[in-house]
Amino acid sequence: MAHNLIFLGPPGAGKGTLAVRAKDLLAVPHISTGNIFREAIAEKSPLGLKVKAIIDAGKLVDDETTVALVRERFTRPDIRSGYILDGFPRTIAQAEALASFSKVDAAVNFDIEDAAVLERLGGRRVCRKCGFNWHRKFNPPINEKVCDKCGGEVYTRDDDKAEAIQKRLAVYREQTAPLTGWYREKGLLVNIDANGNVEEILTLFKKALNL
């Protein structure tokens, strides 16, 4: 059975971290619009140059650009086995666009307290090479500047600075949180308590999806 899943929740809820575990479990691609944008920024491609200032400020990239990017990604054959969409959709307009080209099986919502979000984002460190999400307190690499997995440089995302975090949370509440109601009405919403550690959340995820 194909698993067409979207991961919803505030920034720092742990969507990306769980997606890395869940994609292996389900043998589906993990598609993170945030990762695609960050790769474009690192490559200084036309897309990267267009979105850098928007992302660094914690605002959303426009719907047209984001939907076009996901539509293009969905032309690849690996989508037939299912997918985990992490960070998309983020607006009702994006959810409507997605519904026009793919049937979502479940919208998994990461329920988490604000204090936990702030602690996770404030301590997040990312590998520039392989993209792994480390955490200064919860999961630090041996050497704080070097990735244990690939030897890449470990850095702090520009949008993890205090001002951008506040902006991202405000944008989430205004534009993305209404999606939980949208998917609930369609009978697709699955809520997961995301306050625990990664293993606990993985167990709740498997239980919620009968895996």
Contact stretch for ligand AP5 (CB under 6 A) within 41-49, 118-126, 143-151, 181-189: 118-126
Catalytic residue among 59, 129, 136, 157: 157
Active site annotation includes 80: no
Contact of 88 with 31, CB cutoff 8 Å: yes
Name the residue nearer to ligand AP5 (CB basis): 1 or 66: 66
CB nearer ligand AP5, residue 1 or residue 37: 37
- Please say if 186 is a catalytic residue: no
- Strand (E) positions, the chain? 3-8, 30-32, 82-86, 106-111, 124-127, 133-135, 154-155, 189-193
Residues 70, 79: Cα–Cα separation, whole Å: 11
User: Would you call 157 a catalytic residue per the annotation?
Assistant: yes
Instruction: Name the minimum Å distance from CB 66 to ligand AP5.
Output: 4
Instruction: Classify 9 in phi/psi space as left (phi over 0), alpha (psi -120 to 50) or beta.
Output: left
Q: Please state, in angstroms and rounded to a whole number, the distance separating the CA atoms of residues 48 and 132.
A: 20
Contacting ligand AP5 within 131-190 (CB under 6 A) = 133-135, 138-139, 159, 168
Q: Which of 23, 38, 90, 120 is catalytic?
A: 90
| Catalytic positions | 15, 90, 124, 157, 168
